[in-house]
């Protein structure tokens, strides 16, 4: 028996010489290479073995000695691009469709290469190619939840997330803007030529897009997914109350998992303790139905302490999403000033009814007379707010699977199987109180998406010489505040076409 290491060497050498298991090479003048792209690894392995048994040299790795490249469902442009990425070949090999290979296998010898065996140049009518054009700012574009280019946008969004976790905000924004452009496109991207002239697509983003269009995946994205650091940052920042800086510090201290964090005996603040305790629940998506159940409870709490107050479900659910990572509510009263002191009463009611597993309330620190909407420059507003972990009861209980139990014919001494997790789950909930004079701005800011709001502020500053926040809109040219009682009025002040919440999913 050949030792393991020796066997690996033999296998490697066999792959390069084109023989396997002592198969005789009958046609040394023909050296085949089967392109795995679109063919698949298992099919390629099967066909390679078949070729060797028929006496054809088949190489596992492409080299200058290859005379025939066998492809399946590839265009000649794709294969030539692939060859160029490997330094080309002299002389250039035949680029053949799988049909030549299968017919040669049946014949037991290499057949004459006919025109129908050759990969064909794609004849594309320029009039049939869909070229895209979109405005530069996301706040000028309508972006629904329907995404025709999910593989591309998911890849760019992952790179954006990784950059943000690494506190490289510039790169994170660049990838995010590129993803937002692709989300807004009305149909599938099939070639790089369609992207000519589109805004926000930098060199790095275009490289990722090109690789996915050609190979179906991006090597950078795949290596990022597998990166221990990225995985650790994802896990640790998934703890409520833990940001990228804290996670990075823990990673430097050797902590990369929840188990290691628990074992390390780190001192955690109240938010982090609650986040760790309810980690699984908080990192489970919240459904629209669950958000509506929580809203019923919040509305009841608000009505009990201040009749006439209004509660609005904001965030992704207002934009039409069916799931989210948390639930956000904006609360106000039609009479200015009546909202003062509302939050402590609402929180007290929720606590007395056993709905809050954790809560932290911050006071309203915004004063229009002293604080302009863009000073200091920050995306964070300063409303009175309650960050909480909500205890959501489940309507359906988990039962045993004894079919007789449903008819009452089971063992009278048996009991229903029920634990804590079958009775309730923890959900992240934010409550925000706004004066009615600022409500339109708060509603716009808390509806999102995050990039849409960022682009609104950028448009206001760069294109209109204004400062926009979730509190107000200030005209720097006229040195005055521009009032608004609705989102439509804010868009009008900014010189933008009104875009409804369902179209703000940038």
Residue identified by tokens 């070949």 is 89
Rounded to whole angstroms, the Cα distance separating 3 from 47 reads: 28
Catalytic residues: 326, 328, 430
467 and 372 Cβ atoms separated by less than 8 Å: yes
Count CB-CB contacts under 10 A for residue 72: 18
Quote the tokens at residue 415.
Answer: 């009991």
Tell me, what DSSP letter sits at residue 406?
G
Count CB-CB contacts under 10 A for residue 75: 16
480 and 474 Cβ atoms separated by less than 8 Å: yes
Rounded to whole angstroms, the Cα distance separating 174 from 258 reads: 31
Q: Are strands 480-481 and 94-97 parallel, antiparallel or unpaired?
A: unpaired
Rounded to whole angstroms, the Cα distance separating 70 from 97 reads: 6
Nearest residue to 431 (alpha-carbon basis) of 501, 373, 356, 379? 356
59 and 15 Cβ atoms separated by less than 8 Å: yes
Provide CB contacts within 8 A for 407, sequence distance 6+. none
Nearest residue to 183 (alpha-carbon basis) of 161, 139, 153? 153
Count CB-CB contacts under 10 A for residue 237: 19
Provide CB contacts within 8 A for 9, sequence distance 6+. none
388 and 429 Cβ atoms separated by less than 8 Å: yes
């Amino acid at each position: 028996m050949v030792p393991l290491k020796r066997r690996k060497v033999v296998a490697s050498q066999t792959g390069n010489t084109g023989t396997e298991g002592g198969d005789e090479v009958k046609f040394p003048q023909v050296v085949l290479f089967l392109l795995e792209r679109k063919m698949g690894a298992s099919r390629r392995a099967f066909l390679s073995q078949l070729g060797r048994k028929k006496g054809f040299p088949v190489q596992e790795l492409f080299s200058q000695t290859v005379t025939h490249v066998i492809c399946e469902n590839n265009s000649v442009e794709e294969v030539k691009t692939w060859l160029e990425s490997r330094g080309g070949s002299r002389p250039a090999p035949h680029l053949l469709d799988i049909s030549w290979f299968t017919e040669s296998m049946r014949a037991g010898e290499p057949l004459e290469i006919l025109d129908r065996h050759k990969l064909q140049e794609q004849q594309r009518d320029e009039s049939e190619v869909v070229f895209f054009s979109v405005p530069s700012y996301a706040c000028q574009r309508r972006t629904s939840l329907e995404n025709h280019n999910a593989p591309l946008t998911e890849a760019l969004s992952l790179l954006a997330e990784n950059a943000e976790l690494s506190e490289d905000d510039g790169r994170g924004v660049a990838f995010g803007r590129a993803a937002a452009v692709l989300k807004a496109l009305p149909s599938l991207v099939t070639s790089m030529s369609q992207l000519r002239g589109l805004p926000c697509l930098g060199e790095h983003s275009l490289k990722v897009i090109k690789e996915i269009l050609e190979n179906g995946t991006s090597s950078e994205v795949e290596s990022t997914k597998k990166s221990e650091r990225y995985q650790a940052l994802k896990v640790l920042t998934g703890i409520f109350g833990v940001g990228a800086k804290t996670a990075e510090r823990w990673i430097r201290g050797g902590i990369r998992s929840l188990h290691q964090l628990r074992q390390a005996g780190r001192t955690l603040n109240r938010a982090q303790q609650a986040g760790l305790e309810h980690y699984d629940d908080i990192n489970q998506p919240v459904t629209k139905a669950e958000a509506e159940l929580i809203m019923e409870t919040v509305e009841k709490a608000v009505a009990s302490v201040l009749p006439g107050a209004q509660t609005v479900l904001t965030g992704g659910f207002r934009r039409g999403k069916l799931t989210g990572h948390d639930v956000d509510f904006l609360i106000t009263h039609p009479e200015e000033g009546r909202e003062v002191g509302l939050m402590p009463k609402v929180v007290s009611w929720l606590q007395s009814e056993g709905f809050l597993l954790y809560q932290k309330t911050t006071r309203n620190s915004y004063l229009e007379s002293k604080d302009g909407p863009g000073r200091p420059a920050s995306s964070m507003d300063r409303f009175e707010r309650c960050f909480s972990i909500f205890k959501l009861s489940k309507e359906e209980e988990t039962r045993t699977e004894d079919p007789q139990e449903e008819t009452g014919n089971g063992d009278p001494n048996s009991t229903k199987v029920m634990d804590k997790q079958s009775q309730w789950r923890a959900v992240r909930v934010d409550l925000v109180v706004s004066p009615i004079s600022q409500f339109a701005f708060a509603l716009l800011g808390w509806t999102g998406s995050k990039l849409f709001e960022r682009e609104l502020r950028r448009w206001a500053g760069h294109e209109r010489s204004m400062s926009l926040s979730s509190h107000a809109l200030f005209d720097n040219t006229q040195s005055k505040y521009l009032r608004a009682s609705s989102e439509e009025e804010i868009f009008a002040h900014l010189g933008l076409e009104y875009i409804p919440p369902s179209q703000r999913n940038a």
